[in-house]
Structure 1
Amino acid sequence: MSETALSLSGIEKTYNRGKTGAVHVLSGVDLTLKRGEVVALVAPSGAGKSTLLHIAGLLDTPDEGHVSVAGQELTGTGDARRTAARRAEIGFVYQFHHLLPEFTAAENIVLPQLANGAAWAEAEARAKELLGTVGMDHRADHRPSALSGGEQQRVAFCRALANAPALLLADEPTGNLDPTTSDTVFAALMSLVRETGLAALIATHNLELASRMDRVLHLDGGRLTERGRSGAS
């Protein structure tokens, strides 16, 4: 098992905006995430944060550079291999939970495991274990509409970790929540990450939450810089 969950090297990405010309979104970005670390990504609006997350998550391809996930070099590989790596090695969490409304909390966590080849009993046990980690085991049989916003997002975290990925990518995961709920949900996320030992890259505008992570990376002008390290645990 590779201790490096994500490696980006020399990542370049440019978009052609027609009459306005080319926009250089990422310029020589290098990034390495080790298993067990939680890293904040802070960026002004339009700086390329989502583009960087999409490239790291194999949803987009760079114009130049190399992408490796869990020790697999995936630069220039076909859709089938990228999809398989994404399903097995990467978990995604967004600002909105995107849970399937017709399924219960537990079933929302079971489904990605079935898609990855797990048996139902195994997947169900894993779902209940993850829900218990975030204090949601008593809500396993509730559908998303019966859950609060914070509960929905905690289920979304569990779903993202259902297949025991090496890497978690989160885009403003507490952005829709009030401060108190945000703290509760963030604590649940950190607990899950620490329990499973995966690497997490979390984009956030919340500088207080960012300061509680292991590293804080700033993306601006197409370049990634590190500004300080916290003692968060």
Structure 2
Amino acid sequence: MNDILNLTGVTKGYNHGKPNEVQVLRGIDLTIGAGEVVALVAPSGAGKSTLLHIAGLLDTPDNGTVSIAGEDVTGLPDRRRTAIRRADVGFVYQFHHLLPEFTALENIVLPQLANGVPQREAETRAKDLLARVGVADRASHRPSALSGGQQQRVAFCRALANGPRLLLADEPTGNLDTVTSDQVFDALMELVRATGMSALIATHNLELAARMDRTVRLDAGLVTPAVPA
């Protein structure tokens, strides 16, 4: 199994040299294989968002290396990192962050246009993604006219619009009630499995974590395999 994400010896701290210096990540080693879906479980404030941002090239580590699909991306110029992030990484957050002035369809089309995809091709892919998560009939609606679950489904589609190899999700169902959370998570997993991408999904929900391929725990700045209850 080829590795899609590999973090080796990754450290990250803030306020270096100051009395309130904080070391968030203390030497992260984490590998995710092709097509593997990994749950990241962490207590509040453990640094999971920092870890996801480094994995997704939104931040840089103080030490260590980050590789995506076998390429060491740690020290690449910003322009190259941006190109890799745009093509190979999809992000989903706890809040949908959809652009309010655009329709559901347009929110999925826009990142494709930014990546050089022709308009008609981008619209076709957006419609297909919306159909896969069961909200094709909401394509012309703006986010304010969608329910919370529908908004998050559209956010999933936007994250997958450019066909990334790696999906990074930070509490993607954290704002939803239990029933809606289960339904939306099912939709996300169906998308991920259908495309064969890899995913690192941070969640507090141990039942959702158990439905992924494996679970790792982030605590005290280190990642360790989760111990079954």
Query: Normalised by the shorter chain, which TM-score bucket?
Result: over 0.9
Q: Which residue of 1 aligns with 2:125?
A: 126
SS in 2 for 1:183: helix
**Cα distance in 1 between the residues matched to 2:159 and 2:146:** 18
Structure 2 portions without partners, runs of 5+: none
1:186-225 superposed matches below 5 A: 186-225=185-224
**Cα distance in 2 between the residues matched to 1:67 and 1:18:** 25
SS in 2 for 1:66: strand
Matched AA of 1:197: G
Matched AA of 2:169: A
Deviation at 1:19, TM superposition (A): 5.2
Identity %: 71
**Cα distance in 1 between the residues matched to 2:208 and 2:75:** 35
Q: Deviations over 1:182-231 (max 9, x none)?
A: 000000000000000101101111111111111111000111001258xx
Q: Deviations over 1:79-126 (max 9, x none)?
A: 101110110000000010011111111110000000000000110011
Q: Which residue of 2 aligns with 1:57?
A: 56
Deviation at 1:3, TM superposition (A): 3.1
Matched AA of 1:67: V
Q: Which residue of 2 aligns with 1:173?
A: 172
Counterpart contact for 1:215–1:228, Cα < 8 Å:
no
Q: Which residue of 1 aligns with 2:28?
A: 29
Q: Which residue of 2 aligns with 1:154?
A: 153
Structure 1 portions without partners, runs of 5+: none
TM-score (normalised: structure 2): 0.96
SS in 1 for 2:52: helix
SS in 2 for 1:185: helix
Deviation at 1:137, TM superposition (A): 1.2
**Cα distance in 1 between the residues matched to 2:112 and 2:49:** 26
TM-score (normalised: structure 1): 0.94
| Runs of 4+ with >6 A deviation | none
1:17-166 superposed matches below 5 A: 20-166=19-165
Q: Deviations over 1:135-177 (max 9, x none)?
A: 1111111111111000000000000000000000000100100
Shift of the 17–205 alpha-carbon distance from structure 1 to 2, 3 Å rule, reads farther
SS in 1 for 2:218: strand
Matched AA of 1:181: T
SS in 2 for 1:60: coil
| Corresponding residue pairs, total | 228
Deviation at 1:22, TM superposition (A): 2.7
